Chain A
Amino acid sequence: MSVLAELERACAGGHVRPAEAADAVDGALPSHVATPAGTGEVAAVVRVAAEHQLSLVARGSGTKLDWGNPPRAVDLVVDLSGMRRVVEHATGDLVARVEAGTPLAAFQEVLSGAGQRLPVDELVPGTTIGGLVATGCCGPCRMLHGAVRDLITGLTFVRADGVVAHSGSKVVKNVAGYDLAKLLTGSYGTLGIVTEVIFRLRPVAPHRRYVVATFDDEGALTAPLGAMLGSQVAPSALEVDRALPGGPVTLAALVEGREAGVTARAEAAAGLLGRSAAASDLPPARWGTLPGPTTVKVSAGVGATPAVLASLRGLAAEHGCSPAVRGSAGVGVLFVGLGPEAEVRAVAGLVGALRDRLEGLGGSAVVLRAPSEVKAALDVWGPVKGLDLMRRVKAQFDPEQRLSPGRFVGGI
């Protein structure tokens, strides 16, 4: 039987087709695209792939497939768009089980019917649950509610050998067994294909206010930012935004909750941010979006935001580029964006120099997405602690290196 016929048999409820140019994964063209209809079919497809030594990449809506390194090889794309059910929404328990191909927006739509939400921002429009988990990518609300990893209570995934495995459960408190969801979150599809996720949810806050202030430079930002971090305002998010290296810096705090509390806390926030502070029910421009098209995720300490901004200003002049900076000063994750005009050499130089600076702060700079020629000119992941252990984990879960090979740190 041909591979196509075997895949078709494995995928009886879904469909299989030969790949087209549009199915290329960051430049690598697969042979087939399988769209299974459930976890069982994903497992059957992966078993066929295992038998024929096919390398594979899982795809949701494909919005972040070009993140990380391009895969060394890809024979098969496992398209999860046929799996977009909200399997269970236990409103009274504030948990929901959802299939990985479900768009985040569609999931939120279902949850909002019960006045609930997954407290994760849609940083990349169109993202699916699977893509969210595979990249662990999250936006402003992470400050109060935690990262994607903190919101998962259980998940189901298919191993490289086609075995279906679960960890966790649908209760919010559980310490039975290893927490494999932590391992899978942010693993870029290199350890297994996540097919279902159980999340803990939060009620939608009835009121929200954004308090926004603008400062001449990062020096002027330092004191109000420190005051805000040490205050009792308890913002859900605290975002900085700087369009140009020498330009002004905007600091925006999101305050959520019941009306009386929100009003009082927004006033307190405005007091801390000074004369330029203004409150609004609507987010400021560019809130919860990634600068780009080249995007570098810079992770440093919560207290290091002004230092990172200052470094970037100096390095921008040195390397002849003009990075925008946006991200969470409340968490210590900033996204640095470079426009299409940025030269390859300038980007590579900037990222290298930034990593040198961050080393002293214990931080990191990861190139999330960039044109192929930029990625070819630098190490997108940068130095990684514990890489040897990570290779050992990969060797256990995917000994034949067939799952998104080469996409992750250290060529994993």
Chain B
Amino acid sequence: MSRRDLIGPVAERLRRVVGEEALVTDLSELRTYECDGLSHLRVVPALVVLARSSRDVQAVVATCAAFGVPFVARGSGTGLSGGALPRADGVLVVTSRMRDILDVDVANQRALLEPGVTNLAVSRAGAPHGYYYAPDPSSQQICSIGGNVAENSGGAHCLKYGFTTNHVTGLEVVTPDGEVVELGAGAAADAPGYDLVGAFVGSEGTLGIATKVTVRLLRAPESIQTLLAAFADTDAAGGAVSAIIAAGVVPAAIEMMDALAISAAEAAVRCEYPAGAGAVLIVELDGPAADVAPALEEVERHCRAHGAFEVRMAADDEERARIWKGRKSAFAAVGRISPDYIVQDGVVPRTALPDVLREIARLSEESGIGVANVFHAGDGNLHPLVLFDSAVAGEEERAEQVSAKILDLCLAYGGSITGEHGVGVDKAKSMPKMFSEDDLDTMQLLRCAFDPAGICNPGKVFPTPRLCGEVPGRRHGVHPLHEAGVAELF
């Protein structure tokens, strides 16, 4: 009996436990869940369950565990690496109905959330008390906290404030064998034992499903100042970034766009960035007003010293929003100048940015494939948008080659294949370029502790699953999971 044949009995049991109305079985409805933000990969799930509570999630996972059926969790489905790509032989557990903010504990600077709560809703809940939630992925209006936990989401402001992992203090997790476990300190600072919250955040849904999340709330800054500086080219802008950091200024965000990205944003939203700019920097400073004002002057000085021919300061929230408009629209805007594009997410040491950008330009020139650069310059997280037209024969392949070469470039400079989008299915095959077989084997020891049966979001993150309990480094012949049709090999 194959796993697909088990879906009938699984659905039958879940109908009794979580109710008919929570189940999606109709093919056309199932199709709406066939992909996440990595939309060129599509798999129609065998069954979708719209969970309303931890108990629902536990019931689904326990049932899957009992039948040996794989399951995948999905929040809002905005992930960019296919982390929520369903399994044709498995159950997709959707948490977007679990969207209660269970507590805003101002005294302890915490919020207790269900996983389907959107990122922005957390900051909105804190706002009346003068608090906010720092990680701000660009999809923050719709992306869910559960997804943020799975992906360890970042955002433009993580330069100063860190990522999801630095802001989650407690979790309630349904483990892959269907147990509900509370992890971490929650309202407190530390809990005794291994930092399983730290291990779980960013594990891309492979260690279980978070059903409650405790996050830190930060005091909203007294002052926020935003500056836009226009440069002749990315080299000059990169020099300004290095000078700002070297001077000891810690901006909340430093973003860069190159000429192609600027022109796309201009065409899409008329952001009115300075004409003739080969690169723009957006620098945001926040904190106590007494600190921000002099730091802003310092940043301006460094920009001008590195050849900025125009510097704009946002005088109010409206001007600030206008400066950010071009940056925030950039990904979508590129769709206007190119029928198709690949978004890369590689990271390089910040000081290597000018060299890497030059090499990307060379790759682009040699291949005839356009590359627009929009990125988090402060932490070296590149987002090259590799442009192509799938209607032109061979162009997609060439774009993929350029994209792969950019990743190789990042690794050659000691960087990473992904800064915030995650590995998912998209970059699993690139993991061996960044990590040794031993490294990957070791990571999977953790996986084996949580999910010995290998049913929790299988096929993600790791190119080759480890059979839990097998002797490391001694594999012969066809991988048994592959042979059993349980796992894909990349």
Q: Which residues of B contact A94 (CB under 8 A)?
A: 245
* Residue A124 at the chain B interface, CB threshold 8 Å: no
* Residue B196 at the chain A interface, CB threshold 8 Å: yes
Beyond A93-B350, A175-B422, A303-B107, is A332–B188 a contact (Cβ under 8 Å)?
yes
Which residue of A163, A169, A258, A364 is within 8 Å of B415 (Cβ)? A169
User: Do B419 and A174 have beta carbons less than 8 Å apart?
Assistant: yes
User: Do A171 and B347 have beta carbons less than 8 Å apart?
Assistant: yes
Binary per-residue interface labels of chain B (349-384) against chain A in the complex, 1 for a CB within 8 Å, 0 otherwise: 111000000000000000000000000100111000
User: Do B416 and A174 have beta carbons less than 8 Å apart?
Assistant: yes
A232 to B130, CA, bound (A): 10
Of the four ranges (under 10, 10 to 19, 20 to 34, 35 or more), the interface on chain B belongs to 35 or more
Identity of the chain A residue whose Cβ is nearest the Cβ of B190 in the assembled complex: A299
User: Do A361 and B188 have beta carbons less than 8 Å apart?
Assistant: yes
* Residue B284 at the chain A interface, CB threshold 8 Å: no
Q: Which residues of B contact A239 (CB under 8 A)?
A: none
Q: Which residues of B contact A332 (CB under 8 A)?
A: 108, 188-189
Of the four ranges (under 10, 10 to 19, 20 to 34, 35 or more), the interface on chain A belongs to 35 or more
Most chain A beta-carbon contacts within 10 A, residue among B163, B434, B446: B446
A149 to B189, CA, bound (A): 13
A264 to B395, CA, bound (A): 59
Beyond A173-B379, A183-B198, A234-B288, is A362–B449 a contact (Cβ under 8 Å)?
no
Stretch in B43-51, B59-67, B151-159, B321-329 with 4+ CB within 8 Å of A: B151-159
User: Do B183 and A393 have beta carbons less than 8 Å apart?
Assistant: no
Q: Which residues of A contact B119 (CB under 8 A)?
A: none
Beyond A179-B202, A409-B193, is A166–B435 a contact (Cβ under 8 Å)?
yes
Identity of the chain B residue whose Cβ is nearest the Cβ of A172 in the assembled complex: B379
User: Do B202 and A95 have beta carbons less than 8 Å apart?
Assistant: no
Q: Which residues of A contact B423 (CB under 8 A)?
A: 175-177
User: Do B188 and A363 have beta carbons less than 8 Å apart?
Assistant: yes
Interface residues of B in 427-485 (CB under 8 A from A): 427, 431, 434-436, 438-443, 445-450, 461, 468, 472-473
* Residue B418 at the chain A interface, CB threshold 8 Å: yes
Q: Which residues of A contact B394 (CB under 8 A)?
A: none
User: Do B419 and A185 have beta carbons less than 8 Å apart?
Assistant: no
* Residue A356 at the chain B interface, CB threshold 8 Å: no
* Residue A5 at the chain B interface, CB threshold 8 Å: no
* Residue B335 at the chain A interface, CB threshold 8 Å: no
A92 to B243, CA, bound (A): 9
Binary per-residue interface labels of chain B (165-186) against chain A in the complex, 1 for a CB within 8 Å, 0 otherwise: 1100000000100010111111
Q: Which residues of B contact A260 (CB under 8 A)?
A: 290, 294
A180 to B202, CA, bound (A): 11
Q: Which residues of B contact A232 (CB under 8 A)?
A: 219, 221-222, 288-289
* Residue B295 at the chain A interface, CB threshold 8 Å: yes
Q: Which residues of B contact A395 (CB under 8 A)?
A: 449
Identity of the chain A residue whose Cβ is nearest the Cβ of B415 in the assembled complex: A171
Q: Which residues of B contact A389 (CB under 8 A)?
A: 175, 181, 183, 196, 449-450
Binary per-residue interface labels of chain B (277-290) against chain A in the complex, 1 for a CB within 8 Å, 0 otherwise: 00000000001111
Chain A residues with CB under 8 Å of chain B are: 90-95, 115, 136, 146-147, 149-150, 159, 161, 163-167, 169-180, 182-183, 185-187, 191, 202-206, 226, 229-234, 257-258, 260-261, 263-265, 297, 299-304, 331-333, 361-364, 366, 381-382, 384-390, 392-393, 395-397, 408-410
Besides A333-B190, A385-B183, 14 new A-B residue pairs in contact (Cβ under 8 A), listed by A number: A163-B473, A166-B435, A173-B379, A175-B421, A177-B439, A302-B107, A303-B105, A332-B188, A363-B185, A386-B196, A390-B193, A390-B196, A396-B449, A397-B445
